[in-house]
Amino acid sequence: MARIGVFICHCGENISATVDVMKVAAEAAKIPGVAHSVEYKYMCSDPGQQLVKNAIREKGLTGVVVAACSPRMHEPTFRRACAEAGLNPFLCEMANIREHCSWVHEKGDATTDKAIDIVRTLVAKVKKNKALQPIKVPVTKVAMVIGGGIAGIQASLDIANAGHQVILVEKEPSIGGHMSQLSETFPTLDCSQCILTPRMVEVAQHLNITLFSYAELESLDGFIGNFKARIRKKARSLDEKLCTGCGLCTQKCPSRRIPSEFDAGLGLRPAIYVPFPQAVPNKPVIDREHCTYYRTGKCRLCEKVCPTQAIRFDQQDEIVEADVGAVVLATGFDIKHGDFFPEYGYGKYRDVIDGLQFERLASASGPTLGEIRRPSDGRVPETVVFVACAGSRDPAKGIEYCSKICCMYTAKHAMLYKHKVHHGKPYVFYMDIRAGGKMYEEFVRRAMEEDGVQYVRGRVSRIFERGGKLVVKGVDTLLAARPLEIEADLVVLATAGIAQPGAEELAQKLHVSYDAHKFYAEAHPKLRPVETNTAGIFLAGACQAPKDIPESVAQASGAAAKVAALFSQSELVREPLIAVVDRQAPPVYSSCVGCFLCQSACPYQAIEKEEIRGRDGQLLKTVAKVNPGLCQGCGTCVAFCRTKSIDIQGFSHEQVHAEVLALLNRGERDA
Amino acid sequence: MKTGFYPGCSMKGSAREYSESLLALAREIGRELPEVPDWNCCGATAAHNLDRDLALALPARILAAAEKAGMDEVLVPCAACYSRLKVTRHELLADDSLRQRISGLVEADYRGSAGVLNIIEWLGRVPDLEKLVKKPFQRKVACYYGCLLVRPAGVVKFDRPEDPQSMDLLMKKIGADPIDWAFKTECCGAGFSVSRTDLVARLSGQILDDAVSRGAEAVVVACPMCHLNLDLRRPNIEKRAGKKFHLPVIYITQAVGMALGLKPKQLGLQRHKVSPSALLAPASAKPPAGSKSASGDSPASAPLSGSSAGAPASTASKVN
Amino acid sequence: MRSEAHAHGVGAALSDRVREKTGVDVARCYQCGKCSAGCPLASEMDFPPSQVMHLLQLSAAFPELAEQALRSHTIWLCLTCEICYCRCPMELDIPAIMDALRHESLQQRKVNPRARDILAFHRAFLDSVKYTGRLFEMGQVVDYKLRSGHFLQDLLQAPWMFLVGKLHLLPERVRNRRQLARIFAKTLKARENRP
């Protein structure tokens, strides 16, 4: 005979203000099988928990229902309390009378009745609960970091320094990401490469880090602690072990007029190239699309000049498999390109450039060696117009969000320009200046006050070219919205920060969720900002939303700490809320008919085939079996099973059925 | 497919050469253009400035008449009338109670079955226009779309609102060289021709200035109102600008008509304030060079310098 | 200026009336100024388009700002060139708002005196359409001169236009002029109710 204890929480006034908790407790006491029913102001408090423990011990309860908040809040609290009193924790259930009742209804009898109904269903359920034991799974203490920008570098180093193995996967030929392209960084104006390259070298030299550059994730299977990754190492057309990075091939390559990705299209590179001098690894790659040999079958000059015979024209992509316990996603962002601003002539006029291109112009390693020269004719621009919010906060162009970094980098650009071209006239068109951050506001003030950058409050309507100048038609809304016209030599658009082009595809490979703009979604916007909804996969940097370097680095260290915490134990304890296939005594053995529809439906490859044999070894039956390590308890197989042979522990057919019946038969006496 | 023709008031008066050239062209290519029976004025700017119902009722009466006459679509060569008819059809089809109310006003059940066609769409449908060309119109032309052919983009759904190309493509088909210029879709001053001639002189002057500075030999228009402002208002423009513009302004139908070998008289070319006679002379071997500038023409992807990351260039190199 | 949001019994604020007529919610405007930057006549206006939007935004709290919008020169200078709507990042149909403001300004007899010529032209235009169904350019010009008092303007254009065949001395007429008169009677005339 069941002896159920019901514990009604007031939650201060959160519940008791709209629900008559006394009546709920009184009504619950009348439910058959309920041996104990009390209410208390704060059930989650120490005295509250003590009430539960005492009742279990004194009344010999076989099940507990705590009617309080969502199980997402305090289920672990009460299950632990039950365990301490000697009751299997899975015999404790939460009846959510707060989020599902008191918070969403007015005070009244109907609200109280609903609370009673909720308690009734959970009592019916808990009567059918079975004692369950947690599942333990081993943890592979190897982390895979995807993306080798500053966020990925930081996460890799932090995890590696905690003593764990790291596999760093970078799709470009070198790590470094966008930060390696930047000239100086706000708000301190320190050289981006000077602070980044030591970290890059550290990655290369770290004994715990295995770097796969020019590589992409092919697939990821498994679950937290036990992922299986397949990584595609794209063919560099080079034997990396033989290559010494001498650079002869890149100097001799005859096909040299290819727009350099690193220089944002402003510089040129050969077909066999290293993206930039401090690249890690410092090994070239052949761009097969532009290489003369791959296009025409003739040339092979690089092969001839290579002193170590490292060139491999017939090299194929290679798939590497790795067992990893955790994944950090640090794939970064992109900026909006293309024919996105016809009214600004972006993509049409060569002197209308984006922020990343300006970084390359201002960078000592850039195509102009750090001199500000405009792309069309190489002249030093006398007047430069910077346009903030180019695409950001622009629902008409599909982007309603603020890209966050543009206010600061635009101030920096205007400042750098003024530092390099003393007589130059920089103008910034802006809507609002968002300079929240340590020393950020001071930085923007410095641009205005010390460097004389002219800030004009208004959005630019149009830019067109006239006699070698770019006519910028703007406005100052602080001057009675009078239209202004500026003849500029160069226009820099702070184009919106957007997700990487392949972000969606990668998210689907990893089963992580993403928002409407293809930025990866965190598990909770405030309290779980570095986790995804998929256990064991963490986020770092601008793949989650546009963010600057300090934020990316902070989040990367946060993700690394999460990984380190995960790796601090050799086994993971998981809730046993997984699928099980029916097993019975002979001669039935199982109601499973072996159709294996469940196997094709399972998203986690958790269903195996089991052969049931007689004593003589004769095959009696082939039935489905769930691998408890892989099963995530999603229930898809349950829905597919034609003979109702699969159940989810903790949410069995019987339990759910009992809950539904309790609702349907309310007011009547339970069976 | 029966295509009707809505001339609108100005094509019967101040823009009669637009109508003459269009009808001559239609005859030449064997197209019939029956007028919408008993058509009325579309109401133009005045109606929508003063009364919304009137602004919808006048075009609705025209469209209802076209429907009644079994027309599947109506060619509206005047860009201003085109806009009024197109907007009216859009609004009435989007709101059935409004459609019923306006139908009541015009005493006809307007269904919205007849489409509204602009001149570029109509000309664009002429099959193999290139092959009909007898005298290629080898001129540098500034294609002037004005406001209402391309805006509001969500209603007209024709070409792109910034730097449109449809007229440019049409001009290329007849052998012309459309220039890349900045005032394709800037406003000429529209209905202020009489009431605020001073503003028209300023706005239209900017348009001519840009076309001239980029070496255009003619401005090609598809709107009588634009033509009125750029051509008939030339004395006002020149007075305000303090300089002369000799740039003729012709209708798109006149340009196509010339290329197809029609006679100047057939096209009404004698009716312009600024004589287009220079366009009738054989095209000079070398058209006057426009102010081709550094920033304009090449694709933005062309790189700045010859440096490569593997071996950085020693100087900030010059540009191709 | 003091807030009289709820003091008046005149009904909805101007911004609400505009929303009812046009479906455009001015609260969406975030004052970026792109409309004013691109407006061909912003420099002539007493309130460039973005400021008209702001007048409307505050019209609920400050009725005198609604008054300023209705009495503005701007609403009559707007050419309906649609460039503001085309480029507005919030996709606000500003030309539709201008139409609605003009209608209200006219009905409440708050037309800015500087817009006299523009309004005279529109009225002369519609008069011509009302009587003949089509615009009679000669008649309209004469009507406009009478209304505006600009008797000498364009006097030299007319003979030339007549010579090249652009100006007719007699109007073209629609057959069913009675029906047109009914349309005018039920729309403009009914609402404007002018002497």
Taking only the tens place, the pLDDT of each residue in C80-106 is 999 999 999 999 999 999 999 999 999
Average pLDDT over every residue of C133-158? 83
Residue where a domain stops, chosen among C75, C96, C111: C111
- Asked whether residue B301 carries a pLDDT value surpassing 50, the answer given is no
Q: A267 and B303: CB-CB below 8 Å?
A: yes
Cα gap A91→B233, rounded to integer Å: 91
Is C48 touching A (CB cutoff 8 A)? yes
pLDDT of residue C11: 64
Please tell me which residue, A280 or B283, carries the higher pLDDT value.
A280
- Which chain A residues are within 8 Å of B153, Cβ to Cβ? none
Q: How confident is the model at residue C17 (pLDDT cuts 50, 70, 90)?
A: very high
- Asked whether residue C9 carries a pLDDT value surpassing 60, the answer given is no
Q: B213 and A467: CB-CB below 8 Å?
A: yes
Domain range for C159 is: 114-192
CATH 1.20.1050.140 range(s) for chain B read: 3-120
- Which chain A residues are within 8 Å of B305, Cβ to Cβ? 266-268, 367-368, 378
A36, A173: one domain = no
- Which chain A residues are within 8 Å of C51, Cβ to Cβ? 480-481
Cα gap A26→A111, rounded to integer Å: 15
Average pLDDT over every residue of A77-106? 97
Q: How confident is the model at residue C193 (pLDDT cuts 50, 70, 90)?
A: low
Structural domains in chain C (count): 2
C41, C61: one domain = yes
C72, C126: one domain = no
Residue of C nearest to A397 (CA): C89
Q: A483 and C90: CB-CB below 8 Å?
A: no
Average pLDDT over every residue of B214-230? 96
Contact, A443 vs A187, CB < 8 A?
yes
Contact, B9 vs B41, CB < 8 A?
yes
- The letter for the amino acid at A162 is A
Q: C43 and A483: CB-CB below 8 Å?
A: yes
B105 closest CB neighbour out of C122, C167, C186: C186
pLDDT of residue C161: 80
- Asked whether residue B104 carries a pLDDT value surpassing 60, the answer given is yes
C47: left (phi over 0), alpha (psi -120 to 50) or beta: beta
C100, C73: one domain = yes
The answer to whether residue C4 sits within a structural domain is no
Q: A483 and C36: CB-CB below 8 Å?
A: yes
The answer to whether residue C123 sits within a structural domain is yes
Strand A462-466 relative to strand A469-476, pairing? antiparallel
The answer to whether residue A660 sits within a structural domain is no
- Which chain A residues are within 8 Å of C37, Cβ to Cβ? 458-462, 473-475, 483-484
Q: How confident is the model at residue B307 (pLDDT cuts 50, 70, 90)?
A: very low
- Which chain B residues are within 8 Å of A247, Cβ to Cβ? 310-311
Is C38 touching A (CB cutoff 8 A)? yes
Q: C183 and B13: CB-CB below 8 Å?
A: no
Mutation target to probe the A interface, by most A beta carbons within 10 A, among B291, B295, B298, B320 is B295
Residue of A nearest to B185 (CA): A343
- Asked whether residue A74 carries a pLDDT value surpassing 70, the answer given is yes
Q: A395 and C51: CB-CB below 8 Å?
A: no
Domain at A617, CATH number:
3.30.70.3270
Of the candidates A314, A307, A236, the one whose C-alpha atom is nearest the C-alpha of residue A275 is A236
C39 closest CB neighbour out of A460, A483, A484: A483
Is B308 touching A (CB cutoff 8 A)? yes
pLDDT of residue A339: 79
Residue of A nearest to B306 (CA): A268
CATH 3.40.50.11810 range(s) for chain B read: 129-280
Q: C90 and A396: CB-CB below 8 Å?
A: yes
The H or E element spanning position B257 is helix B252-259
Residue where a domain stops, chosen among A288, A315, A342: A315
Cα gap A494→A384, rounded to integer Å: 13
Domain at A97, CATH number:
3.40.50
B309 closest CB neighbour out of A275, A466, A470: A275
Is B320 touching A (CB cutoff 8 A)? no
Q: How confident is the model at residue B284 (pLDDT cuts 50, 70, 90)?
A: low
pLDDT of residue A628: 86
Is B153 touching A (CB cutoff 8 A)? no
The answer to whether residue C6 sits within a structural domain is no
Average pLDDT over every residue of A238-266? 95
ipTM of the complex: 0.89
Structural domains in chain A (count): 5
A431 closest CB neighbour out of C32, C49, C88: C32
Q: Note which residues in 100-119 of chain B have CB less than 8 A from chain A.
A: none
pLDDT of residue C7: 41
Q: How confident is the model at residue A407 (pLDDT cuts 50, 70, 90)?
A: very high
**Mean pLDDT of all residues belonging to chain A:** 95
- Asked whether residue A109 carries a pLDDT value surpassing 60, the answer given is yes
Q: How confident is the model at residue A668 (pLDDT cuts 50, 70, 90)?
A: low
Residue where a domain stops, chosen among A250, A282, A315: A315
Q: Which residues contact C34 (CB under 8 A, 6 or more apart)?
A: A458, A459, A460, A461, A475, C50, C84, C87, C88, C89
- DSSP letters, C127-168, are HHHHHHSS--HHHHHHHHHHHH---STTTTHHHHHHHTT---
A390, A471: one domain = yes
Q: Provide CATH code, domain B129-280.
A: 3.40.50.11810
Q: C48 and A431: CB-CB below 8 Å?
A: no
Of the candidates A596, A566, A559, A560, the one whose C-alpha atom is nearest the C-alpha of residue A581 is A596
pLDDT of residue C82: 96
Please tell me which residue, A205 or A617, carries the higher pLDDT value.
A205
Please tell me which residue, B301 or A394, carries the higher pLDDT value.
A394
Residue where a domain stops, chosen among C81, C111, C141: C111
- The letter for the amino acid at C78 is C
Paired tokens of A656 = 């759910």
A392, A490: one domain = yes
The answer to whether residue A661 sits within a structural domain is no
Contact, B67 vs B60, CB < 8 A?
no
Residue where a domain stops, chosen among C111, C126, C153: C111
Cα gap C105→C110, rounded to integer Å: 5
Tens of pLDDT, residues B154-174: 999 999 999 999 999 999 999
Contact, C128 vs C90, CB < 8 A?
no
Paired tokens of B39 = 């058509």
Q: B39 and C174: CB-CB below 8 Å?
A: yes
Q: How confident is the model at residue A588 (pLDDT cuts 50, 70, 90)?
A: confident
Q: Note which residues in 89-128 of chain C have CB less than 8 A from chain A.
A: 89-91
Q: B190 and C166: CB-CB below 8 Å?
A: no
Token pair 């769930």: residue? A626
C66, C77: one domain = yes
Residue of C nearest to A477 (CA): C33
- Asked whether residue B214 carries a pLDDT value surpassing 70, the answer given is yes
Q: B195 and C86: CB-CB below 8 Å?
A: no
What residues pair up with A425 in beta bridges, in sequence order? A383
Strand A92-96 relative to strand A63-68, pairing? parallel
pLDDT of residue A629: 79
Q: How confident is the model at residue C45 (pLDDT cuts 50, 70, 90)?
A: very high
SS3 A622: strand
- Which chain C residues are within 8 Å of B39, Cβ to Cβ? 134, 174
Please tell me the distance in Å from B211's CA to the nearest CA on chain A.
11
Q: C48 and A482: CB-CB below 8 Å?
A: yes
The answer to whether residue A50 sits within a structural domain is yes
C106, C90: one domain = yes
The answer to whether residue A548 sits within a structural domain is yes
A427, A542: one domain = no
Please tell me the distance in Å from B264's CA to the nearest CA on chain A.
34
Is A479 touching C (CB cutoff 8 A)? no
A367 closest CB neighbour out of B295, B299, B304: B304
Cα gap A664→A668, rounded to integer Å: 9
A325, A198: one domain = yes
pLDDT of residue C136: 85
- Which chain B residues are within 8 Å of C129, Cβ to Cβ? 40-41, 43, 46-47, 58
Tens of pLDDT, residues A317-373: 999 999 999 999 999 999 998 778 899 999 999 999 999 999 999 999 999 999 999
Q: A462 and C87: CB-CB below 8 Å?
A: yes
A with C: how many residue pairs have Cβ under 8 Å apart?
A: 77
Domain range for A188 is: 135-234+317-332+515-570
Cα gap A506→A147, rounded to integer Å: 12
Residue where a domain stops, chosen among A133, A154, A183: A133
Average pLDDT over every residue of B19-40? 96
Q: A460 and C39: CB-CB below 8 Å?
A: no
The answer to whether residue A394 sits within a structural domain is yes
Reduced to 3 DSSP states, what percent helix, strand and coil does chain C have, rounded to the nearest 5? 60, 0, 40
Is B313 touching A (CB cutoff 8 A)? yes
The answer to whether residue C5 sits within a structural domain is no
Cα gap A578→A137, rounded to integer Å: 13
Q: B308 and A368: CB-CB below 8 Å?
A: no
- Which chain B residues are within 8 Å of A279, Cβ to Cβ? 309
Is A398 touching C (CB cutoff 8 A)? no
B308 closest CB neighbour out of A270, A371, A465: A270
pLDDT of residue A615: 86
Of the candidates A584, A604, A581, A603, the one whose C-alpha atom is nearest the C-alpha of residue A594 is A581
Tens of pLDDT, residues A448-485: 999 999 999 999 999 999 999 999 999 999 999 999 99
Q: B51 and C80: CB-CB below 8 Å?
A: no
Please tell me which residue, C191 or A566, carries the higher pLDDT value.
A566
C106, C140: one domain = no
Is C30 touching A (CB cutoff 8 A)? yes
The answer to whether residue C7 sits within a structural domain is no
Q: 10 Å Cβ neighbour count for A19?
A: 28
Could you give the percent of chain A with pLDDT greater than 90? Answer: 91
Cα gap B98→B53, rounded to integer Å: 9
Residue of A nearest to B183 (CA): A464
Q: How confident is the model at residue A238 (pLDDT cuts 50, 70, 90)?
A: very high
Q: C33 and A459: CB-CB below 8 Å?
A: yes
- Which chain C residues are within 8 Å of A484, Cβ to Cβ? 37
Domain at A483, CATH number:
3.50.50.60
Q: CATH for B3-120, among 1.10.645.10, 1.20.1050.140, 1.10.8.100, 1.20.1250.20?
A: 1.20.1050.140
CA torsion through residues A479, A485, A487, A493, sign:
positive
A64, A207: one domain = no
Cα gap A555→A561, rounded to integer Å: 10
All chains having 3 or more CB pairs closer than 8 angstroms to chain A: B, C
Highest mean pLDDT among A568-577, A586-595, B181-190, C148-157 belongs to B181-190
The answer to whether residue C18 sits within a structural domain is yes
Tens of pLDDT, residues A134-185: 988 899 999 999 999 999 999 999 999 999 999 999 999 999 999 999 999 9
C82 closest CB neighbour out of B53, B151, B192: B151
